[in-house]
Amino acid sequence: MSRDSVLRIENLGHSYGKFKVIEDISLTIGKGEMSALIGPNGAGKTTFYNAISGKFPPTKGKVFLNGEDITGLPSHRVVDKGMCRSFQITNIFTELTVAENVFSPLIIQQNKHFKLYGNVFNDQQITEKAMDTLEQVGLGGRTDQVVANLAYGDKRLVEMAIVLARDPSVVLLDEPTAGMNPEETENMINLIKKLAKNSGTTFFITEHDMKVVFSLAEKIYVLHQGHLLAQGSPEEIRANEQVQEAYLGRKVHA
Task: Catalog residues that contact another protein under the rule CB under 8 A.
Answer: 53, 74-77, 79-80, 84-85, 87, 91-96, 99-100, 103-105, 107-109, 112-121, 123, 126-127, 130-131, 143-144, 146, 149, 162, 165-166
Q: Name the residue nearer to another protein (CB basis): 108 or 191.
A: 108
Shortest Å, Cβ 161 to another protein = 11
Q: Name the residue among 40, 68, 70 with its Cα closest to residue 55.
A: 70
Other C-beta atoms lying within 10 Å of the C-beta of residue 90: 15
Least separation in angstroms between residue 7's CB and another protein is 16
Q: Give whichever of 146 and 252 is closer to another protein, judged by the CB atom.
A: 146
| Beta strand ranges found along 17-161 (DSSP E) | 19-30, 34-38, 60-65, 68-69, 83-85
Q: How far is the CB of 73 from another protein (least distance, A)?
A: 11
Min CB(147)–another protein separation in Å:
9
**Minimum distance of another protein from residue 118's CB (angstroms):** 6
Instruction: Compute the distance between CA of residue 228 and CA of residue 25 in angstroms, rounded to an integer.
Output: 6
* 126 contacts 166 by C-beta, under 8 angstroms: no
Which bin fits 103, alpha (ψ -120 to 50), beta or left (φ > 0)?
alpha
CA 91/CA 93 separation, integer angstroms: 7
Least distance CB 50 / another protein (angstroms): 11
Cβ proximity to another protein: between 137 and 222 the closer is 137
Alpha-carbon distance of 76 to 155, in angstroms, equals 22
15 or 91: CB nearest another protein: 91
Residue (48 or 247) nearer to another protein, CB: 48
Between 182-199 and 152-165, two packed helices, what is the crossing angle to 10 degrees? 20
List of residues 6+ apart from 217 with CB closer than 8 A: 34, 35, 36, 205, 234
Which residue's CB is nearer to another protein, number 96 or number 191? 96
Least Å distance, CB 229 to another protein, is: 28
CB-wise, 42 or 141, nearer to another protein?
A: 141
Query: What SS3 state is found at 160?
Result: helix
DSSP string, 171-213: EEEESTTTT--HHHHHHHHHHHHHHHHHH--EEEEE-S-HHHH
